[in-house]
């Protein structure tokens, strides 16, 4: 089925005159030839297993610096350098995916991810581990930008939220499995054997993708002839893509940046003022795992909801409101409100990540999707990198409550223009 959009020429005083009929050629001939189910499993497994080495370092490196041959004060640099690498390389990955076969680049990125994990296993000292993290930044730019672009290729407006949400599950699953496997394997086998296990599993994920992942890149001549539904052939000229990038950056700033970096402080504060007998580290770990599981579950559900509503921006508007409310609940002096805030934040921030990715697929043709996705994820990486820095810089002056109110404000700021965008879609 081909969707047809009518756009009025705003410069024409006659309201009823039609300037252009834009035919969405996200035609189902391409979508029907490649089932999303056929793509999701190999792309998802490759993504999940690629994350095991990275997640392992976050879990065990702070307590195994001697085995890694580094000082404790170098852990922060090692764990964060890959994010700064991605700020530079996401756009390069986006351009590459728009001009080359998706499958080839995705497989190369998975292989570089395995090599980075091997570097962790053989590293003895700061610089070799530092190089491994740079390789991981390169790999993850290719994996995350490429995997999302691939999913957008084989979906259409009516099912894109659902399948984008399903792909997010594999992302969260990689973090959960990496934390669990690395913790258990390190205690039983040791630090280095655990990393070799992660590398072997990474190779297994690469093999699954190599055998089963099809090429999804659309015929470029067909795409150029259709020039997409909203008449913005250049992704940078589409204001909705920039809005999605702002919302995604704000979301990652609050969730992956501020909340993740200060979560232990929140838990410690509540333990001090209550009779909870669990240790701070234990409770923080349990609640962090719970947060990830909730996000993993909510992402596809929110995506399915946006498909059924038929107006993705209206669903985003609701998510922004709930995200802002969740940030306020988290810092209320009540265990019940705190726990409600954590559940709500996990559901809505995960859902918002799904929806901002999906709207890029709605708004941008496959000719430019790689570059548009790279803008989205660069904004997210910047937000998650700035979140801890801003939070700890402001803590001495405004405290945790002030920091979380700023996060709430970021979500609320995005609501008016999102409402306008939602109403525009209703008119169309």
Let me know: does 300 contact 166? Beta carbons within 8 Å.
yes
Q: Which of 141, 116, 106 is nearest to 53 (CA)?
A: 116
- Indicate whether 44 pLDDT > 60: yes
Q: Decide: 113 and 62 in contact? Cβ < 8 Å.
A: no
d(CA 359, CA 230): 12
pLDDT digits (tens, 9 = 90+) for 230-243: 444 455 667 888 99
Highest mean pLDDT, choosing among 3-12, 137-146, 281-290: 137-146
Whole-angstrom distance, CA of residue 145 vs CA of residue 102: 10
Alpha-carbon torsion angle 156, 159, 161, 167, nearest 10: -90
Residue of 322, 319, 341 whose CA lies nearest to 330: 341
Average pLDDT over residues 8-25: 36
Enter the pTM of the model.
Answer: 0.83
d(CA 110, CA 195): 16
pLDDT per position as a tens digit, 343-358: 999 999 999 999 999 9
- pLDDT averaged over the chain? 84
Q: Which CATH architecture has domain 235-427?
A: Up-down Bundle (1.20)
pLDDT at 297: 92
Measured between alpha carbons, how far is residue 179 from residues 22, 34, 90, 328 in Å? 48, 33, 25, 29
Task: Decide yes or no: CATH 1.20.1250.20 for domain 35-221.
Answer: yes
Please tell me the predicted confidence (pLDDT) of residue 49. Answer: 97
- Per-residue tokens: 330: 């988290």
Q: Where are the domains of the chain?
A: 35-221, 235-427
Give the whole-angstrom CA distance, residue 329 versus residue 344: 9
Whether 35-221 shares its CATH topology with 235-427 is answered yes
**pLDDT grade for 365, boundaries at 50, 70 and 90:** confident
């Amino acid at each position: 089925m081909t969707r047809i959009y009518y756009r009025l020429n705003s410069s024409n005083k006659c309201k009823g005159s039609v300037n252009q009929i834009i035919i969405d050629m996200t035609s189902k001939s391409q979508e029907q030839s490649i089932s999303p189910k056929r793509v999701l499993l190999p792309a998802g497994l490759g993504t999940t297993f690629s994350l095991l080495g990275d997640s392992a370092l976050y879990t065990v490196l702070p307590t195994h610096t001697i085995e890694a041959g580094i000082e404790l004060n170098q852990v922060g640099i090692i764990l964060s350098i890959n994010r700064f690498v991605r700020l530079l390389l996401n756009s390069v990955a986006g351009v590459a995916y728009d001009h080359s076969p998706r499958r080839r680049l995705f497989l190369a990125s998975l292989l570089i991810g395995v090599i980075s994990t091997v570097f962790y296993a053989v590293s003895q000292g700061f610089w070799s581990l530092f190089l491994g993290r740079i390789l991981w930044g390169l790999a993850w730019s290719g994996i995350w930008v490429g995997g999302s672009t691939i999913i957008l290729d084989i979906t259409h407006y009516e099912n894109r939220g659902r399948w984008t949400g399903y792909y997010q599950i594999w992302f969260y699953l990689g973090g959960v499995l990496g934390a669990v496997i690395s913790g258990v394997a390190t205690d039983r086998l040791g630090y280095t054997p655990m990393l070799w296990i992660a590398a072997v599993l990474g190779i297994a994920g690469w093999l699954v993708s190599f055998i089963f992942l099809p090429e999804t890149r659309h015929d470029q001549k067909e795409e150029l002839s259709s020039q997409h539904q909203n008449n913005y052939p250049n992704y940078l000229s589409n204001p909705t893509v920039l809005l999605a990038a702002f919302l995604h950056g704000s979301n990652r700033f609050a969730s992956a940046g501020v909340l993740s970096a200060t979560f232990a402080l929140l838990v410690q504060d509540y333990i001090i003022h209550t009779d909870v007998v669990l240790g701070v580290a234990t409770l923080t770990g349990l609640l962090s795992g719970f947060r990830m599981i909730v996000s993993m579950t909510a992402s596809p559900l929110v995506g399915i909801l946006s498909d059924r509503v038929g107006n993705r921006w209206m669903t985003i508007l609701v998510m922004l409101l709930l995200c802002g409310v969740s940030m306020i609940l988290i810092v209320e002096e009540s265990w019940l409100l705190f726990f409600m805030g954590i559940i709500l934040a996990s559901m809505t921030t995960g859902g918002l990540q799904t929806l901002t990715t999906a709207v890029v697929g709605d708004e941008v043709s496959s000719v430019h999707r790689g570059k548009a996705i790279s803008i989205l994820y660069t904004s997210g990486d910047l937000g998650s990198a700035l979140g801890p820095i801003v939070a700890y810089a402001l803590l001495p002056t405004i405290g945790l409550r002030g920091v979380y109110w700023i996060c709430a404000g970021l979500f609320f700021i995005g609501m008016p223009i999102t409402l306008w965008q939602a109403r525009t879609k209703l008119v169309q």
